[in-house]
């Protein structure tokens, strides 16, 4: 196991280099439609060309592209993601907290989605072909077909008329005045809406996977054996069947995370949630390239780590799996 993790971590190196290269290449393409400084000149024609050249030189933008890339790579190795053009602060300041917020949103959605989908999937499989099963399956299909930006809009609509939940942001105006417990509750309260908006999509898919897997397992010989031994039905399902049906879902975890990070980008933009997806959109529109590249890089790192954790988790819950 340890050797496997080590090998994966070593392989991470070339993968990260590939990711930085693609991020860089995408940004180079983006420069075709004018870079930050050209936009600046358009907005403030009074800035002298000399000042612009000075700014360019300050950010190292006067060098040939490949030198810029190597410099950027060199700085990343030292965990320095460069300076933001528009905020004039290190990119790390900006993306650190934003990435944490996105991670918080993704994980809370993941937890909520699993907590809802697994029991419903089990119920559906155990009561196969019943009316409830039909309704749940139809509901799952609906959930899969609702884009996260539309579910966010619908929830916003409901929240606006019921006045039950805060509509925007992650914290209240008086956040800084609250006690530590109050702060926690405030953030939790603000998380409800985005979590549901983002989680709905996952619930549908997870539920269907759980149902299919459990139905497969319920046909297995060892379930028959357990029943034949006189194990109570409840125990057969929960201890013998579900335990085995849940393994493939763990692999899905990494895949889910990718979808959640993408979906979070919408939810963040609609619900004014201060996350990575919103930052990257703002930075893209401002052509603040170091922020964009940093966000792309950090998003991918989150995804890769998620996949790694999923693989390790899988080996942990399923002793049949050996990574050697």
**Cβ-proximal residues to 98 (8 Å cutoff; 6+ apart), any chain:** 274, 275, 276, 278, 279, 295
Which stretch in 22-30, 46-54, 61-69, 191-199 sits in contact with other proteins by CB under 8 A? 22-30
Q: Phi-psi region for residue 60, left (φ > 0), alpha (ψ -120 to 50) or beta?
A: left
Give the residue with the Cβ less far from other proteins, 25 or 184.
25
Of 80, 31, 17, nearest in space to 284 by CA = 31
Which stretch in 74-82, 187-195, 274-282, 316-324 sits in contact with other proteins by CB under 8 A? 274-282
Give the residue with the Cβ less far from other proteins, 101 or 300.
300
* 42 lies in the site for other proteins, by CB under 8 A: no
Whole-angstrom distance, CA of residue 154 vs CA of residue 157: 5
**Cβ-proximal residues to 111 (8 Å cutoff; 6+ apart), any chain:** none
Q: What is the per-residue binding string for other proteins in 127-146, x denoting contact by CB under 8 A?
A: -xx-----------xx-xxx
**Residue where the block lists tokens 């990257």:** 280
* 216 lies in the site for other proteins, by CB under 8 A: yes
Give the residue with the Cβ less far from other proteins, 224 or 239.
224
Question: How far from 157 is each of 140, 170, 196, 220, CA to CA, in Å?
Answer: 22, 18, 14, 47
Whole-angstrom distance, CA of residue 137 vs CA of residue 131: 10
Which stretch in 43-51, 112-120, 242-250, 256-264 sits in contact with other proteins by CB under 8 A? 256-264
Which stretch in 28-36, 114-122, 185-193, 238-246 sits in contact with other proteins by CB under 8 A? 28-36
DSSP symbols for 187-242: HHHHHHHHHHHHHHHHHHHHHHHHHHHHHHHHTSHHHHHHHHTT--HHHIIIIIIH
* 319 lies in the site for other proteins, by CB under 8 A: no
Give the residue with the Cβ less far from other proteins, 195 or 300.
300
Give the residue with the Cβ less far from other proteins, 109 or 300.
300
* 266 lies in the site for other proteins, by CB under 8 A: yes
Which stretch in 46-54, 112-120, 237-245, 302-310 sits in contact with other proteins by CB under 8 A? 302-310
* 265 lies in the site for other proteins, by CB under 8 A: yes
Which tokens go with 7?
A: 């090998």
Give the residue with the Cβ less far from other proteins, 71 or 224.
224
Which tokens go with 266?
A: 């919408």
- Residues 53 and 62: beta-carbon distance below 8 Å: yes
> What residue ranges bind other proteins (CB under 8 A)?
14-15, 18-19, 21-23, 26-27, 29-30, 32-33, 128-129, 141-142, 144-147, 149-150, 153-154, 156-157, 160-161, 167, 208, 212, 215-216, 224, 227-230, 258, 261-263, 265-266, 269-270, 277, 280-281, 284-285, 292, 295-296, 299-300, 302-304
């Amino acid at each position: 196991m340890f050797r496997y993790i080590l090998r994966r971590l070593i392989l991470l190196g070339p993968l990260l280099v590939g990711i930085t290269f693609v991020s860089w290449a995408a940004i180079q393409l983006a420069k075709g439609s004018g870079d930050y400084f050209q936009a600046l000149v358009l907005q403030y024609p009074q800035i002298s060309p000399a000042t612009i050249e000075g700014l360019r030189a300050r950010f190292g933008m006067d060098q040939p592209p490949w030198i810029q890339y190597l410099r950027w790579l060199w700085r990343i190795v030292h965990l320095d993601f460069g300076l933001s053009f528009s905020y004039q602060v290190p990119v790390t300041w900006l993306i650190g907290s934003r990435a944490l917020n996105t991670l918080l949103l993704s994980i809370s959605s993941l937890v909520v989605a699993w907590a809802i989908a697994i029991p419903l999937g089990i119920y559906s499989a155990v009561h196969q072909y019943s009316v409830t099963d039909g309704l749940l399956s139809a509901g799952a299909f609906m959930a899969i077909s609702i884009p996260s930006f539309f579910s966010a809009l619908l929830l916003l609509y409901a929240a606006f008329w019921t006045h039950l939940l805060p509509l925007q942001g992650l914290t209240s105006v008086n956040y800084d005045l609250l006690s530590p417990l109050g702060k926690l509750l405030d953030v939790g309260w603000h998380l409800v809406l985005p979590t549901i908006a983002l989680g709905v999509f996952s619930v549908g898919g997870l539920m269907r996977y759980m149902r299919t897997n459990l139905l497969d397992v319920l046909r297995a010989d060892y379930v028959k054996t357990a029943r034949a031994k006189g194990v109570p039905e409840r125990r057969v399902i929960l201890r013998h069947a579900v335990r085995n049906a849940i393994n493939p879902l763990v692999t899905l975890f990494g895949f889910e995370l990718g979808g959640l990070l993408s979906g979070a980008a919408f939810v963040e933009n609609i619900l004014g949630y201060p996350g990575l997806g919103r930052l990257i959109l703002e930075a893209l529109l401002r052509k603040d390239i170091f922020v964009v590249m940093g966000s792309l890089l950090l998003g991918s790192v989150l995804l890769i780590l998620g996949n790694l954790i999923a693989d390790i988790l899988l080996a942990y819950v399923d002793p049949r799996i050996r990574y050697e």
